[in-house]
Amino acid sequence: MQTQVAIIGGGPSGLLLSQILHLRGISSIVLEQKSRNYVLGRIRAGVLEQGLVDMVRAAGVGERMDKEGHPHSGFDIAFHGQRKRIDLEGLSGGKTVMVYGQTELTLDLYEARDQMGGHIVHEAENVTPCELETDRPYVTYEKGGNIYRIDCDFIAGCDGFHGVSRQSIPKSVLREYEKVYPFGWLGVLSKTPPVSSELIYNHNDRGFALCSMRNANLSRYYIQCSMNERVENWSDEQFWEELKKRLPEQAAQEIVTGPSIEKSIAPLRSFVAEPLSYGRLFLAGDAGHIVPPTGAKGLNLAASDIYYLSEALIDHYKKKSDQGLKDYSEKALKRIWKAMRFSWWMTTLLHKFPQNSEFDNRMQETELDYLFSSEAAQKALAENYVGLPY
Ligand code: FAS
Ligand code: PHB
């Protein structure tokens, strides 16, 4: 087979790139190792920055998001009996975020690709990028006992943290930066009304907790747990009991509990790979970086990568200019590192670190006190949370 851009990975990064390229008359084939149901069964991000919302609308995929998504103009931070609202809209000069599940966005993207005749191969096995250093790269994959080859101009590695693309960059070229946090997040999705109309980030002596939602009858809750915790050790009742102990009193009394329809544990890490390009291969999204979900940046960073990469590919085909492709890695990394910093800062601010010294704990409390008392500090939080400019 022949295409202009071979895209490895059928998550939000790969699908959004394929959709944007299609609208500009650039062909692509998406190779996804899992089934579509498996991809759509994953529960992940819930908060979209304005930049991603704008991209989704421009890609012609925003109708359901605008109907079912919820713009949020602030969120609460609870700490030592206090509960402070961070007025995102007021502090960021009018910007808000959109609460709309990544799962829903992925479904919308799949449906748009289907309607426009998008070429997506599911259950593609042993996907292998080849001849990256030449101007005729190709990708092979196996399916149903057959081996296939796709000749292309470029390969987009949108295959997430455990994908094959980053591994295809020679170790002598690749630099990796990583911090693994000494805890994870145990998340529950339940068909219950959210405890609050906005998100509540809770700093508690027992550990961090987050109250989020997907819609008026679908709530998403997380509690910090030890990194070797196992989800089967947590009954729904145990989860709700622990969550209530970490919430402000009123929220703990008002929360509506119910059976979990999804329950999973995510490890927390900060990770960046440099460079994000090698020859004709370009990494985007989790294939190139991972942030702890505290700052709601993972999906939103994938979006800005796709913005830069799609613009660069369009310039190649429409303006015969390769400057965008040459600049892609450096440009994307500038925004990635700033989101990496914010996600690390918010994670350090809100979680219980077992190895912390007494001094470290006092620093954490003082950071929260300063945040609660300084508009300048809240402005800095707000401009990062709504999303730094592309
Ligand atoms: P994805 O990992 O979503 O997609 C990559 C795709 O590539 C997958 O479908 C995978 O099956 C496929 N693939 C992998 N290897 C392949 C191969 N060799 N060949 C072909 N296909 C291959 N972000 C937030 O902002 N907020 C959150 O609350 C949040 N929670 C998260 C919870 C969990 C458990 C995880 C893992 C991530 C979470 N994230 C969150 C981050 C998440 O939303 C990612 O940023 C987002 O999925 C990135 O999208 P992609 O880059 O498309 O990567
Ligand atoms: C979610 O709703 O899944 C969510 C929201 C905000 C975060 C992390 C996760 O910071």
Give Cβ neighbours of residue 37 (< 8 Å, ≥ 6 apart): none
Distance from the alpha carbon of residue 270 to the mean position of ligand 1, in angstroms: 14
**pLDDT, tens digit (0-9, with 9 covering 90-100), for 182-234:** 999 999 999 999 999 999 999 999 999 999 999 999 999 999 999 999 999 99
Which pair of structure tokens corresponds to residue 198?
Answer: 């906005």
Instruction: Tell me if 157 sits within 8 A of 284, measured CB to CB.
Output: yes
Tell how far the Cα of 210 is from the centroid of ligand 2, in angstroms: 8
Separation between Cα atoms, residue 321 and residue 64, nearest integer Å? 35
> Is the distance from the beta carbon of residue 46 to the nearest atom of ligand 2 less than 6 Å?
yes
CB 291 within 8 A of CB 343: yes
Identify the pLDDT of residue 127.
Answer: 98
Q: State the pLDDT at residue 153.
A: 98
**Residues 284-311 pLDDT 10s:** 999 999 999 999 999 999 999 999 999 9
Q: What's the pLDDT score for residue 187?
A: 97
Atom of ligand 1 nearest to the CA of 291: 41
Ligand 1 atom nearest 9 alpha carbon: 7
| pLDDT score for 258 | 98
Q: Is the CB of 106 under 6 A from ligand 1?
A: no
Which is the closest atom of ligand 1 to the Cα of 297?
25
Domains in the chain, ordered, with CATH? 5-70+98-178+269-347 (3.50.50.60), 181-268+352-386 (3.30.9.10)
Other residues' Cβ atoms within 10 Å of the Cβ of residue 322:
12
Q: Is 12 in the pocket of ligand 1 (CB under 6 A)?
A: yes
Residue positions annotated with a catalytic role: 72, 201, 293, 297, 385
Measure the CA–CA gap between 280 and 137, rounded to whole angstroms.
7
CB of 220 shorter than 6 A to ligand 2 = yes
Give CA–CA dist 65/102, Å, rounded: 10
pLDDT under 70 in the chain at which residues? none
Question: What is the model's pLDDT at position 130?
Answer: 98
Structure tokens at 104: 């829903």
- Counting ligands in written order, which one lies closest to the CA of residue 210? 2
Query: What was the pLDDT predicted at 250?
Result: 95
Structure tokens at 293: 């979900």
Query: For residue 229, what pLDDT is reported?
Result: 95
How far is residue 347 CA from its own chain's centroid? 15
State residue 252 phi and psi, 5-degree precision: -65, -35
Cα 146 from Cα 157, distance rounded (Å): 23
Question: Quick one: pLDDT at residue 288?
Answer: 98
Sign of the C-alpha dihedral computed for residues 31, 35, 37 and 43 taken in this order? negative
**Pocket test residue of 8, 72, 102, 220 for ligand 1, highest count of atoms within 8 A of CB:** 102
User: Whose CA is closest to atom 51 on ligand 1?
Assistant: 285
* Letter string b/e over residues 288-317, b meaning 16 or more CB atoms within 10 A of that residue's CB: bbbbbbbbbbbbbbbbbbbbbbbbbbbebb
For ligand 2, atom 6, which residue shows the shortest CA distance? Answer: 296
How many helical (H) and strand (E) elements, i.e. helices and strands, does the chain have? 12, 20
